[in-house]
Amino acid sequence: MEFRTWYGQLRKPTWTPSPQAIGVIWTILHPIIVVSFGFVFYKWYRGSMSWVVTLPFIINLIANILFMPIFAGLRNQFLATLDIVIVLGTIIWMIMAIWPQHRWVAFAQVPYLVWVSIATVAQIDLLLLNH
């Protein structure tokens, strides 16, 4: 079954953002993520950022990339929910880890944190409504 057909058949919370809204949000977030994560990875590569500070950024990037293959590919709502909780948790960890050294990077994560908080609640609702 094609993804859009499958997704269309899922029971969703009434407040679920439209696919168009989600696209706009990610269009805004991707440049913020690229610049702030790129800065952290560059600093780590150059030896001026510790592994401990860089680790949540690495885990977050991996979990973020894996969400759609889990959600849309495997269509596993439970694993998708676990994955997005990891994304959310690592954003909080990233902000706390980077704050003492580069506050602008911490502040740059706030829109990402807000969006993923909303998306996490939506994913949990989706899981509960379709379980």
- pLDDT (tens digit per residue) in 59-73: 999 999 999 999 999
Taking residue 76's Cβ as centre, other Cβ atoms within 10 Å add up to 14
Mean pLDDT of 94-112: 98
pLDDT in tens, 12-65: 999 999 989 999 999 999 999 999 999 999 999 999 999 999 999 999 999 999
Phi, psi of 124, deg, nearest 5: -65, -45
Residue 76's nearest CA partner among 13, 11, 126 is 126
Residue 131 is predicted with a pLDDT of 86
Tokens 């977050």 label which residue? Answer: 60
| 3-state SS assignment for residue 30 | helix
Mean pLDDT of 79-106: 98
Q: What does pLDDT average to over the chain?
A: 97
Residue bearing the bigger pLDDT, 3 or 94: 94
Token reading at 5: 């057909």
If you ran DSSP here, which 8-state letter would residue 71 be given?
A: I
pTM: 0.95
Residue 44's nearest CA partner among 31, 57, 59, 61 is 57
The answer, yes or no, to whether residue 124 has pLDDT greater than 90, is: yes
The answer, yes or no, to whether residue 1 has pLDDT greater than 90, is: no
Residue 122 is predicted with a pLDDT of 97
Note the helical H segments in the chain: 3-9, 19-45, 51-68, 77-98, 103-108, 110-129
